[in-house]
Structure 1
Amino acid sequence: MDQRAAATAAGLDPATLHDVLRVAAAPDFDRWRDQVHRTGGCSDPVHLTGWTLAKDRTSGDTLRRYSTEAEPGGRLRVACGNRRASRCPSCAHTYSGDTYHLIRAGLAGDESKDIPATVRDHPRVFATLTAPSFGPVHNRPDRGACRCGARHPENDPVLGTALDPESYDYAGAVLFNNHAGQLWQRFTNRLRRELAARAGLTQRELKDVLRVSYGKVAEFQKRGAIHFHAVIRLDGADGPGTVPPSWATVQLLDDAIRAAAVHTYTTITVPAAGDQPLRRFQWGRQLDIRPVKAFGDGSDITEQAVAAYVAKYATKAAETTGSLDR
């Protein structure tokens, strides 16, 4: 069988088959295959070139020297680490798995991470804080049609775009995304104050008996606006290994979160600049808070479900915009 026929049988063009055979016949093929294996099947590995030198500080003797000159092609291949499945399914899968186990440990405990299983008894909620409205957009309501009158398919590129581009506040949406991290910080600061107020304590006194622990992930909605999903847990003063006060209940945490989210302190002011007016940003009206339970009956949100949700959102990111991939 000639090379063209072999290429056809393998589903490859002759040029690709020629490259495959050339690489496989190279004397450094085993090292090249080891590098590829270590990237975990990365779709777009980073190719590094250079050298490192480690010397003893006292004697000046060379302890270790490494150069990529000895590597196949003179390059060292490492995984790209991109968390977006549209760019690299392998690295996104790894990131998602790591996130799942990290969140799961924070909810159910993990001795290898010094988190005891008793954290299951601590007050825990899964909260979602959304962006405010910047104008109506094309969507897919559970019932009925979009406000434009159409029933959009799931991957319709028009989803999330403005119904009226002339009146939609694009600048406001961009500025909100840019300041969303600061808004989250103000929210967490206010949350501690709300917890202290409900316990009849000062903030300094609260630190002596309670610690607020959380893990969050940002998600871009189809309209391009950021919202946050967060696991929030109440611990004793010394962290997950200590029991929170008896007054620290799920209901108290729920009330404190709702109060902190709408408080005037939880506001970001962006000064006027050029033709853009002064803006004040707060969270959107949609606020979802659900208790996290070790086990559920189908309607409850469980530790496993929360960990899976956060892991999914961690890699989902801007891919929720469908056609956008930059």
Structure 2
Amino acid sequence: MPATHMRPHAIAGMITRLNDPHYARWAAQIHRTKGCRQPIHLRGRIDHIDRATGELLHRYSTRHEPDGILHLPCKTRRASRCPACAETYRADTYQLIRAGLAGGKGVPATVTAHPCLFVTLTAPSFGIVHTRQEKDGKVLPCHARRDAPTCPHGRVMSCTARHGADDPRLGEPLCPDCYDYAGSVLFNAVSPKLWQRFTDALRRRFAKIAGLTLRELRQHLTISFAKVAEYQRRGVVHFHAVIRLDGPGGPAFPPPAWATAEALAEAVRHAVHAVSVTVPASADEPARVLRWGTQLDIRPITMDGDLSDQTVAGYIAKYATKAAECVGTLDRRISPLADLAALPLREHARRLIAECFRLGELDELADLRLIHWAHMLGFRGHFSTRSRHYSITLGDIRADRTAFVRTEEISTGRLPLFDEDTVLVITEWEYAGKGYSAGDALLAAALTGTALPALTAGGSDAR
């Protein structure tokens, strides 16, 4: 940031920090957060006590840290809030997905021989929106129609523009008054239930193929998956999923001979068309039966083809750090009392949020919690999920990282080497805020080579 744009109190705070005798330790803490924009502040201590004698072997206390606090990364998955922590989440998700495709991290390499597909499930249409399509490297007109009809609101349902990739009109309805905003937010709200019913239908289909009951199927076949939700520019989610066939017990066992990639593709097509979710009628809304969209993409994953394990893992990991930003909404909850017109929202997103508020007031739809999830345009599910047998967990990866850091701390003498069976570890922590003061934000950005962190009232200025 140019000096002319720096606020005087920020410069004063930066100078004060640089002249602090504990600056080196503060800088070391900031380096350990790896560029986190909104680090968490903790206050407390850790005691290592000999179980037999009660002797205090070692104590760490934040009383000896700068400002009496310890900075820890916020660990958010959202790139819009903290790019540094989201990158760690993305890398962990990449390792999780790839281990289920190529083996490693406890998953046997023989998993590469198991039938595996990359499947994309989409949402139905809720109205014509501006799109960008390419053919043979050329951008096609959006919706060019010679005899385009005129909608009841007087708009011609045609667009001859060749939209650029960053055109703000992408995803916007050609006629907002014709667009089914209620259907859009309701689909988002029930899409996790649709996914659950899809996986159930997938198992039932394989049981029928094999002439088995569902209980008997578990003794022959395990259907493993990992999936991520992605927002389309029009404001609805679709799911990308890796679906793999294993033997009973998971990836260490081969599936039966009849469980082939072709059988899996057929079962996916059947399950997509077989499931639906009914949204009950209310005084203001008719009952709706919501299904997956007609567009269904099923592709095999190959270790040496265009759709390799690395490509798929990278694709899924990228969307695991995103939310609804591409639609033009906010990455935080919005109060139903807020003035939507005053918020920095795209008009399409504003109308979707307003529809969440309207539908959320209906008693029949209270279970969907549309008001609570209005900033997510009705979607309230987990962005990335995996079945129990797919591969390792994010917790396993984080535990490995913690163990590595602990080993490093012991080797440098910052932590004592002790036997966990003979030493009692007692911890006492309390939350003390988050973020940076204006001066600390400038220094943190310079130390870590990142963009300026977010400033919060709970930052270092509160000391």
Normalized against structure 1, the TM-score is what? Answer: 0.86
Match of 1:310 in 2: 316
Q: Report which stretch shifted further, 241-250 or 8-17.
A: 8-17
* Inter-partner Cα distance in structure 1 for 2:194 and 2:167: 31
RCO higher in structure (CA 8 A, sep ≥6): 2
1:165: Cα distance to partner? 1.5
Question: 3-state SS of the aligned residue for 1:317?
Answer: coil
| Letter in structure 2 aligned against 1:136 | I
Show the 5 A alignment for 1:71-150. Answer: 71-110=65-104, 113-142=105-134, 143-146=140-143, 147-150=158-161
Which of 261, 266, 275 in structure 2 is aligned with 1:250?
261
The reply to whether residue 30 of structure 1 matches residue 41 of structure 2 is no
Superposed CA RMSD in Å reads: 2.8
| Superposition map of 1:272-311 within 5 A | 272-296=281-305, 300-311=306-317
- Shift in Å at residue 203 of structure 1? 1.4
CA contact (8 A) 2:141 2:159 kept: no
Partner of 1:155, secondary structure, is coil
1:163 counterpart residue number: 174
- Which SS does the other structure have where 1:212 is aligned? strand
The aligned runs of 1:42-61 (5 Å cut-off) are: 42-49=36-43
SS in 1 for 2:189: helix
**What is the distance in 2 between the residues matched to 1:68 and 1:138?**
55
Q: After TM superposition, give the deviation of residue 129 of structure 1 in Å.
A: 0.4
**Post-superposition CA distance 1:64-101 (Å, at most 9, x none):** 87664443223332212222323222112111111111
Cα shift at 1:50: 5.7
Deviations 1:170-198 (A, max 9, x none): 12211111111111101000000111111
The answer (yes or no) to whether the contact 2:80–2:322 under 8 Å persists in 1 is no
Q: Which residue of 2 aligns with 1:230?
A: 241
**Helix, strand or coil for the counterpart of 2:198?**
helix
Partner of 1:188 in structure 2? 199
- Do residues 271 (structure 1) and 263 (structure 2) align? no
Letter aligned with residue 165 of structure 2 = E
Distance 1:172 1:30, change over 3 A: same
Q: Aligned partners of 1:58 and 1:176: how far apart in 2?
A: 60
C-alpha deviation, 1:304, in angstroms: 1.0
- Residue 190 of structure 2 is matched in structure 1 by 179
Amino acid paired to 1:310: I
Alignment coverage as a number of residue pairs: 313
Match of 2:301, SS? Answer: strand
One-letter code of the match for 2:304?
A: F
Q: Bigger shift: 200-209 or 116-125?
A: 200-209
Identity %: 54
Is residue 141–residue 161 contact of structure 2 (8 Å, CA) maintained in 1? no
Query: Equivalent residue of 1:193, what SS?
Result: helix
Write out per-residue CA displacement over residues 116-136 of structure 1, whole angstroms, 9 at most, x where no aligned residue: 000000000000001111111
Q: Which amino acid aligns with 2:205?
A: E
2-side partners of 1:224 and 1:63: how far apart?
A: 56
Structure 1 partner of 2:231: 220
Q: 2-side partners of 1:304 and 1:81: how far apart?
A: 24
SS in 2 for 1:316: coil
Contact 1:269 1:279 in 2 (8 A): yes
1:151: Cα distance to partner? 2.8
Residue of structure 2 equivalent to 1:260: 271
Native 8 Å contact 2:130 2:142 kept in 1: no
In 2: Cα distance, 1:166 partner to 1:120 partner: 50
What is the SS of the residue equivalent to 2:16? Answer: helix
Distance 1:8 1:104, change over 3 A: closer
- Is residue 172–residue 234 contact of structure 2 (8 Å, CA) maintained in 1? yes
* 2: CA distance, partners of 1:215 / 1:200: 27
